[in-house]
Structure 1
Amino acid sequence: MDSTAPMPPAADSASDQFYCGYRPVAPSLRMTLAVIVIVLIAAFVATAAVMSRQHGDPGTGVWHFGTPREFVGRIVCEPYPMLLIVPKERGDVEALLLVEMGKFGGGQRALPRDGQWARVTGYLLERDGRRMIELLDGDAAFAAVDRSAVAGADRIEAPPEVHEVADQEMFGEIVDTKCYLGAMKPGDGKAHKECATLCIRGGIPPTFITRDNFGKRTYYLITDPAGRAVDERILPFVADPVKILGTVERRGSLLLFRIHVTTIQRM
């Protein structure tokens, strides 16, 4: 027998790491497993934090879908379809924008009723004191009323006070008003760009949102330089950070931003 031939290791040698599932974890593996678990937990927490920062603020908008409400006032369609009312709790004339269900403005049904006194029924959307009505389907959305049945009719008929500010260059984002007021959460940002574009193309009024250094938002209803509905040239800039030169006008309860679309610049 060759005495120089290697001998197999003894069964109780320290190099024998044969694993038995029913026995405690080997001491040499405990530290490795602990480090792996800690690293995985830290990676999970970091990933969750990054993903949460990438999602926009859902905002405070409320869509009272399923609870139709009635509002009585006068329908006007410039620059966008709206119902002028005098709420009891405010006393001033308020403009409630009118839109259809889905991604459509309220022009098709509101235009034939321009200037008429009416009871309008639909679902209220509201955010930061701005309100909108999503019209019911069918004939239930509109009912003609006599002027005498409308609270504050004299104030509604009176020409609104108009205050115009010199041209201003402002930074912000163009959103579709319906989604931003509560139909979608969030209703702004890149993730909402396609939806907002379809809504504005369908007639939903576009709004320009600016924020001051403290995060306070200001809402400007966007119009063309003559104060009419803006055209589709605005669509490529929806949901992007932009800089716009235009004229600010306060018309009653509305803040309008009259712009030339050609002045819009992406940031």
Structure 2
Amino acid sequence: MRKNNEFFVGYLKAPQSIVSFYKIVVPIFLLIAIAVGVWLSLNQQSAGKGVAELSNQSTMSGYLTLDPYPVLHHVGEEKRSVILVDRFKKSANDLLQPYANQWITVSGLPIDRGDWVMLQVPADAEVQVVSNKMGLEVSDQYLGEVTFEGEIIDSKCFLGVMKPGGGKVHRACARLCLLGGVPPMLAVKNQQGERLGYLLMNEDGSSASIPLSDKVAVPVRLSGTLLQRGELQYVRLNASNVKLLTGSKLADYGETLAQMSDEDVAMLNHDHDH
């Protein structure tokens, strides 16, 4: 007489064959799940080491310029140039307009990523005029004609406010920021693997935020004039000539974000002269 096949009944003790089966299968599935999780985490693109302070205010003093974006120059012992933005998705230009071309002190929430520093200035910020130091005007230094491939991003989110602050998942947010006047930036990776950033402005020196808002968070190729203004590097371009590249792969922008080195600038000028 044949024995009945073992059958699992919830309110009875499980048959030994089923218990033995799951003692083997469950650990295997757990190990596979752990291995997949580790593999995914190791192969995920870095969101970067940008830091945005949400509560610790910082006070900075420097010479304020507004064109094309608010920037505080000669800040601290390192004489850094600090980009100023509103606490929300908009430019701080209107708030700071009365203090243009003056030496001021202002407080806000700092954002830091590599060579780049930004300050979020609240609408009720107290701005103090230290002195009207005319003669500190920041002039442009011509660095050469350039062509870059990379991704146009909104500088505020990319430098640390959002993670990730680039790519298609961030496109809607980035577009709103640019429409509000947040400075657009091009993030690229050079042949040495370094991640570099360049602020973008129109050919006439005005803000390119709105003209570039429909070209954000996708691969692009653009050409223009590379300028140094204070400690920041800009590309002056015609927004209508920015070319969208085919494909969906975006650059790996790494942990931090630098600016073009003096050696690279010298090489650029050498190539241009010849």
TM-score of the alignment, normalized to the shorter chain, above 0.5: yes
2:82 partner letter: L
Secondary structure of 2:211's match?
Answer: helix
Q: Tell me if 1:252 matches 2:230.
A: yes
The size of the alignment, in residue pairs, is: 244
Partner of 1:85: 74
Partner of 1:184: 162
Secondary structure of 1:157's match?
Answer: coil
Distance 1:201 1:59, change over 3 A: same
Indicate conservation of the 8 Å contact 1:76/1:82, yes or no.
Answer: yes
* Among 120, 134, 142, the residue aligned to 1:163: 142
Q: CA deviation at 1:120?
A: 1.0
> Within 1, Cα distance between the matches of 2:94 and 2:160?
23
The residue correspondences of 1:187-266 to structure 2 (distance < 5 A) are 187-266=165-244
Distance 1:73 1:36, change over 3 A: closer
1:157 partner letter: L
Indicate conservation of the 8 Å contact 2:142/2:227, yes or no.
Answer: yes
Distance 1:255 1:125, change over 3 A: same
Distance 1:173 1:121, change over 3 A: same
Distance 1:245 1:25, change over 3 A: farther
> Within 2, Cα distance between the matches of 1:115 and 1:214?
38
Distance 1:231 1:187, change over 3 A: closer
* Among 85, 89, 111, the residue aligned to 1:103: 89
> Within 1, Cα distance between the matches of 2:68 and 2:108?
21
Q: Tell me if 1:119 matches 2:105.
A: yes
Q: CA deviation at 1:232?
A: 2.0
Partner of 2:49: 60
Q: Quick check: which has more Rg, 1 or 2?
A: 1
Indicate conservation of the 8 Å contact 1:135/1:141, yes or no.
Answer: no
TM-score by length of 2: 0.78
1:237 partner letter: K
* Among 29, 43, 46, the residue aligned to 2:36: 46
**Cα deviations by residue, 1:4-34 (Å, 9 ceiling, x for unpaired):** xxxxx5xxx4334244665464337744773
Identify unmatched segments of 5+ residues in structure 1. Answer: 1-8, 148-152
Indicate conservation of the 8 Å contact 2:107/2:126, yes or no.
Answer: yes
Identify unmatched segments of 5+ residues in structure 2. Answer: 246-274
Q: CA deviation at 1:262?
A: 2.1
Secondary structure of 2:87's match?
Answer: coil
> Within 1, Cα distance between the matches of 2:29 and 2:59?
58
> Within 1, Cα distance between the matches of 2:21 and 2:224?
65
Secondary structure of 2:212's match?
Answer: helix
Indicate conservation of the 8 Å contact 1:163/1:251, yes or no.
Answer: no
Give the superposed CA RMSD.
2.7
1:249 partner letter: L
Indicate conservation of the 8 Å contact 1:223/1:257, yes or no.
Answer: yes
> Within 2, Cα distance between the matches of 1:261 and 1:86?
31
> Within 2, Cα distance between the matches of 1:85 and 1:240?
34
> Within 2, Cα distance between the matches of 1:58 and 1:224?
29
TM-score by length of 1: 0.80
Q: Tell me if 1:142 matches 2:132.
A: no
Distance 1:42 1:78, change over 3 A: same
Secondary structure of 1:145's match?
Answer: strand
